[in-house]
Structure 1
Amino acid sequence: MARIREAFADAGVTGLLHARDIDTGAELGLGADALMSTASVHKLCLVSTVFREAARGRIDLTRQVEVPAEQRTKGPTGLAAMLDPARLSLRDLAAQSIAVSDNTAADVLWDRVGLDAVNRTMAELGLRNTRAVHTMRDLYASMTADAGAAGVAALVEPATLARLRVLDPAHTNHSTARDLTALLAAVWRDEVCAGEHGRLLRRVLGLQAWSHRLASGFPFDDVRVSGKTGTLPTLRHEAGVVEYPDGGRYAVAVLTRSASTAITLPAADAVIGTAARIAVDALRAGAR
């Protein structure tokens, strides 16, 4: 843990971490049970619920949904950034939600399954510290309201950040590092949904385009990293699964908050991969 603490300190962040061997249950953590605002990491909970509901016959993943141009949630990627009407299946909306963290795609899914279903799924899986309280559109509405008249420009001001409810786990979607690795382990063990639905869910979780956080710690062609990032002012997170060619499978969640309010902090992104690698190496060493 000392090396992980030092890495966080060198990157100018405070961090929470949990890592677990999916097959043996061996684990290690740092602040693993502290609540943290999840930002877009909560899309893991959403998409897992979508596939679980489909496995139970409650929704059809191939159902096509119209997404009008005027019904777009704020965001820099995917449908959120597009200008024209679109039509996608629920499973393709799930893929968009994970691959490029598409807020509009996620909100179509939130509207389809509902907050209660996502929270019920997390409770059924035993994740008592994980809860969704709003959709992505409501998250952004809250942030806009709290930022005040100065708008986005104020999001680098400490006084503004202090009043953002989306940074306070008591008022926004939240979880813990331990709960997030438990969710991922359940997905990889077919406990969220089995068979074809489980395989498709893992495929979706492997589509993320970003490689500057968790994946940066595992720069090997034969190591597969699946995950979901989350970002809000001062917050940079990722939770995912690292799979080695020898069959080792490790769920890791790294949740960070930076001392700096700068939007671009490469060291804060990179330390997520560094901390995850230290943790996974320790688990692998302990298994030998």
Structure 2
Amino acid sequence: MTSAIEGAFREAGVVGWLHAVDLDSGREVGVRPDESVVLASVFKVPLLVAFFRRAAAGGLDPAEQVTLPPGARVAGSTGTSVLLDEIRMSLRDLACLMITVSDNTAADVVLERVGLEHVNRTLTELGLGRTGVTGSAGELHSSLMADAGVTDPAELWERLAEPGMTGRLSALDPTRSSHGTPRELTRLLAAIWHDDAAPPPECAQMRRMLGLQVWPHRLASGFPYDDVLVSGKTGTLLTLRNEIGVVEYPDGGRYALAVFTRARSTAATHPRADAAIGTAARLAVQELRGWAS
């Protein structure tokens, strides 16, 4: 089965990394599952866990109201990042937006309140020693512009295919950016689904938010069935397209997946790479369900 998964990645023109695990039996499938990969917006899942753990411990009030004045926006194409007027909402609702629509402004407000040190301490406490968050979405965007020597994102895309450009971008390097391994990311999901990442009420809220993610073009594309629930979080950064999530079947089968890809093409739109994530996930789950039978 791993050869079929590799074939799906190869046909899409990407290098891929995958780990899939049956949340009840522990059976697993992997393609380079222990290699370090860039998280991109997947960093918002460790942040979500840290937020709810801190809320459960009384370190913050999830209902605390936050006001975002005009102009206090982080670069992004969704949620509060694209709004122009003053916004007032709770930290918990901002956390929801950072997961469901990958809102960068919301994520950075939550990160500022939780604290980067606390996020990484949470990962250590959960035994995820090879996963780390290095900074905010705003800092990531700023590093891209600085490393590329540009001030306009459109210019970055225009120059991305220049020889050596992608190698200059620290954001694409797992040794210099927020990072993890596919296996550790499925362990994080397992902790959420098993109520080990935080107390059960907080884990239930996290599962709800991940289940409300709006993007159907990656992981969910591999499971186009009304009775199969796909919960997840995407990550997108130039040539990187990722998603981690949990697929739940009506017969009770539950499978955590982490799929990371790096495209050879520098095109901003790459539907074959997106689809390969769903295809690889489907092949992995089919293998796990075949073992289970």
- Report whether the alignment pairs 1:212 with 2:212: no
- Report whether the alignment pairs 1:154 with 2:156: yes
Deviation at 1:26, TM superposition (A): 1.0
What pairs with 1:33-48 in structure 2 (closer than 5 Å)?
33-48=34-49
Structure 1: 4+ residue segments shifted above 6 A: none
> Runs of 5+ in structure 1 lacking a partner?
none
Q: Which amino acid aligns with 2:14?
A: V
Deviation at 1:198, TM superposition (A): 1.5
Q: 1:150 to 1:72 in 2, by over 3 A?
A: closer
TM-score (norm 1): 0.98
- Report whether the alignment pairs 1:60 with 2:61: yes
Query: Aligned residue for 1:121?
Result: 122
- Report whether the alignment pairs 1:88 with 2:89: yes
Q: Which amino acid aligns with 1:64?
A: Q
What pairs with 1:4-43 in structure 2 (closer than 5 Å)?
4-43=5-44
Deviation at 1:215, TM superposition (A): 0.2
Deviation at 1:231, TM superposition (A): 0.5
What pairs with 1:64-79 in structure 2 (closer than 5 Å)?
64-79=65-80
CA distance in 2, matches of 1:52, 1:182: 17
> Runs of 5+ in structure 2 lacking a partner?
none
Query: Aligned residue for 2:108?
Result: 107
What pairs with 1:242-261 in structure 2 (closer than 5 Å)?
242-261=247-266
Deviation at 1:150, TM superposition (A): 6.6
Q: 1:166 aligns with which of 166, 171, 175?
A: 171
Calculate the aligned-residue CA RMSD, in Å: 1.0
Q: Which amino acid aligns with 1:89?
A: S
Note the alpha carbon deviations across 1:167-216, whole angstroms, 9 max, x for none. 00111100110011000000000001123212111111111110000000
Deviation at 1:154, TM superposition (A): 3.0
CA contact (8 A) 1:161 1:233 kept: no
TM-score (norm 2): 0.96
Q: Which amino acid aligns with 1:126?
A: G
Deviation at 1:114, TM superposition (A): 0.8
